[in-house]
């Protein structure tokens, strides 16, 4: 259980002063993204239902339900806030599909209220610790093989963040993470079918962090060898292709959390490259929707399984659109951009976009895997017979092609503009200011009043 011990020691020991400034900047962007998506997602389908449920369950008023107001037991508040944070699928992500911040940050905020306060420095350290552990325990596409990465590796992030804010002992921290291991699971079928379960899974993972930390603080134990044991994480989920030595190599010195993805466009990470490619062709070559005969896009098999299928509007049009390359490309062609409002049902049902999507073909090619997770080749054939080619290896917002500060700000402002319960302008301005000085805040609970409409 060497890997388990080293991870526990890292979670308990890391301080803000240990974290490189570049990694701290990632955490600030992560918090900016998650608080923005929570504001924007608060009134999305299913969110008000889970908020109502959290309030109906009653219990001690320990932590705030964001945007809607009211308090609930900390784990219930984390669940409701986690669902809202993921609802528009525009929070931070990690290839091949884990969403860490929407669970770790909502769990950490609820825990900060539970314990009576937390400095900005400690809050950043807790989020960094949890995010770093989840990134290191993240698996590849073949290991997940249909498991939802958020449900598999992210419970460790929300739990680590909660344990650190609660100040648990070494033994308690180990038990909390071990309990979180027993909560790992969830399927990508929810994404493929466009189910609201996608955002509910995020809420469960946030709730898990608070619950596991609370259970461990009261002596509930988990398996000590939760990673390296015969039936531990490395075997069950890593399929014996992951080793403790690799996971903990450089832990505390080399921060892998810098691998986080901040999507430029409000749709699945696997659609980002295609949206960018067609917008670039429009800008550089003057491509217009009415002049296109057909478009062919070649992607790696994993991308095809997730977002390459023919576009169909089902029970949840927003999710159907977010997880469709064909819709995203057609939308960009017709509207010249990709914004949150474009994934609302009324926008998704635009007949011109639906028809154009039928002329976009997406096909898988295993050879694309050697070029990277977001690689694609796009061939646009115009009605006059002219062909335009565009190759993408790294989509915008991925580590190899990070967003500029103004692009992070643009994402946040799109969230504020889209929100069903928009924040007053003065509150959104104050929130931006506080996030910029996050690690210097005396108490992160100061964010809470700024997160209610």
For range 97-105, the mean pLDDT? 97
- Helix (H) or strand (E) run with residue 391 in it: strand 387-392
Quick one: pLDDT at residue 319? 83
Give the number of domains in the chain: 2
What number is the average pLDDT over the span 114-140?
A: 98
Q: Is residue 243 a part of any domain in this protein? A: yes
Same domain, 172 and 33: yes
Cα atoms in the 13 Å half-sphere on the side-chain side of 58:
0
- Where does the pLDDT of residue 66 fall: very low under 50, low under 70, confident under 90, or very high at 90 and above? very high
Q: Is the pLDDT of residue 1 over 80?
A: no
User: Do 378 and 301 share a structural domain?
Assistant: yes
Verify that 251 and 290 share a domain, yes or no. Answer: no
Q: Decide if pLDDT at 97 tops 80.
A: yes
Domain extent, residue 296, equals 269-392
To which residue do tokens 């050697």 refer? Answer: 370
**With 90 as the cut, is the pLDDT of residue 60 above it?**
yes
Structure tokens at 268: 């699945």
146 φ, ψ (degrees, to nearest 5): 105, -15
Q: Looking at the domain assignment, is residue 249 inside a domain? A: yes
Residue 226 lies in a domain: yes
Residues 142 and 86 in one domain: yes
Whole-model pTM: value is 0.91
Same domain, 128 and 221: yes
Q: Are residues 9 and 72 in the same domain?
A: yes
Q: Are residues 106 and 194 in the same domain?
A: yes
Among candidate residues 368, 392, 416, the one where a domain is terminated: 392
Which CATH number do you get for residue 301? 3.30.1330.120
pLDDT band for position 159 (cuts 50, 70, 90): very high
* 399 in a structural domain: no
Judge whether 397 lies within some domain: no
The whole-number average pLDDT for the span 265-287 is: 95
One domain, residues 374 and 255: no
pLDDT at 191: 83
pLDDT category, 240, cuts 50, 70, 90? very high
Distance CA 155, CA 270 (A): 23
pLDDT average, residue stretch 270-294: 96
**Residue 290 falls inside a structural domain:** yes
Residues 6+ apart with CB under 8 A from 208: 103, 107, 155, 158, 159, 180, 183
User: Do 102 and 73 share a structural domain?
Assistant: yes
Same domain, 248 and 386: no
Q: Which of 372, 392, 412 is the last residue of a domain?
A: 392
What six digits make up the tokens of 319? 């999710």
Q: Which residues contact 159 (CB under 8 A, 6 or more apart)?
A: 107, 130, 176, 177, 179, 180, 208, 209, 212, 213
Q: What is the tens place of the pLDDT at every residue in 186-222?
A: 999 998 787 899 999 999 999 999 999 999 999 999 9
Long-range contacts of 250-256 (CB under 8 A, 24+ apart): 251/6, 251/7, 251/10, 251/132, 251/136, 252/10, 252/13, 252/14, 252/18, 255/19, 255/20, 255/22, 255/23, 255/128, 255/132, 256/132, 256/135, 256/136
CA dihedral of 104, 109, 115, 117, whole degrees rounded to 10 = 130
Question: How many angstroms separate the CA atoms of 32 and 51, rounded?
Answer: 22
User: Chain-wide mean pLDDT for the chain?
Assistant: 96
* Rounded Cα–Cα distance for residues 436 and 28 (Å): 7
In a domain, 75, yes or no: yes
Does 294 lie in the same domain as 163? Answer: no
How is residue 231 written in tokens?
Answer: 């039936």
Q: Is residue 363 part of a domain?
A: yes
Q: Measured at the alpha carbon of residue 203, what is the angle toward residues 417 and 275, in degrees to the nearest 5?
A: 45
CATH number at residue 213: 1.10.4100.10
Show which of 343, 372, 392 is a domain's final residue: 392
Do 306 and 445 belong together in one domain?
Answer: no
């Amino acid at each position: 259980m060497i890997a388990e011990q080293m991870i526990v020691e890292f979670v308990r020991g890391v301080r803000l002063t240990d974290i490189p400034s570049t990694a701290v900047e990632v955490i600030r962007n992560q918090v900016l993204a998650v608080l923005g998506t929570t504001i924007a997602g608060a009134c999305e389908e299913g969110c008000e239902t889970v908020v109502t449920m959290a309030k109906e369950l009653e219990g001690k008023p320990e932590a705030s339900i964001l945007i809607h107001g009211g308090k609930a037991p900390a784990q219930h508040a984390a669940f409701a806030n986690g669902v809202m944070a993921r609802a528009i699928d525009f929070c931070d992500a990690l290839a091949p599909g884990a969403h860490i911040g929407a669970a770790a940050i909502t769990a950490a905020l609820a825990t900060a209220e539970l314990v009576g306060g937390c400095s900005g420095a400690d809050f950043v350290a807790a989020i960094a610790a949890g995010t770093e552990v989840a990134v290191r325990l993240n698996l590849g596409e073949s290991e997940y093989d249909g498991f939802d990465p958020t449900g598999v590796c992210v419970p460790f992030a929300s739990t680590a963040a909660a344990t650190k804010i609660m100040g648990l002992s070494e033994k308690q921290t180990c038990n909390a993470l071990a309990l979180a291991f027993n909560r790992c699971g969830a399927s990508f079928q929810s994404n493929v079918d466009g189910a609201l379960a996608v955002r509910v899974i995020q809420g469960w993972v946030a709730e898990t962090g608070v619950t596991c930390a609370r259970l461990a603080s009261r002596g509930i134990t988990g398996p000590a060898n939760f990673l390296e044991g015969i039936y531990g994480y490395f075997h069950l989920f890593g399929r014996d292709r992951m080793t403790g030595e690799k996971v903990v190599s450089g832990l505390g010195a080399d921060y892998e959390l810098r691998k986080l993805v901040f999507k430029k466009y409000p749709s699945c990470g696997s659609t980002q490259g295609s949206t960018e490619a067609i917008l670039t062709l429009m800008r550089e070559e003057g491509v217009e929707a009415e002049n296109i005969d057909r478009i062919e896009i070649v992607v790696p098999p994993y991308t095809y399984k997730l977002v390459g299928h023919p576009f169909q509007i089902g029970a949840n049009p927003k999710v159907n659109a977010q997880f469709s390359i064909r819709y995203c490309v057609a939308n960009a062609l017709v509207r010249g951009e990709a914004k949150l409002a474009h994934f609302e049902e009324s926008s998704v049902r635009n007949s011109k976009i639906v028809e154009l999507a039928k002329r976009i073909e997406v096909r898988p090619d295993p050879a694309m895997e050697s070029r990277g997770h977001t690689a694609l080749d796009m061939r646009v054939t115009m009605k006059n017979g002219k062909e335009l080619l565009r190759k993408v290896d790294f989509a915008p917002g991925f580590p190899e092609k990070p967003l500029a500060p103004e692009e992070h700000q643009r994402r946040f402002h799109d969230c504020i503009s889209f929100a069903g319960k928009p924040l007053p302008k003065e509150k959104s301005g104050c929130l931006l200011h506080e996030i910029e000085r996050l690690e210097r805040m005396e108490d992160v609970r100061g964010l809470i009043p700024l997160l209610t409409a």
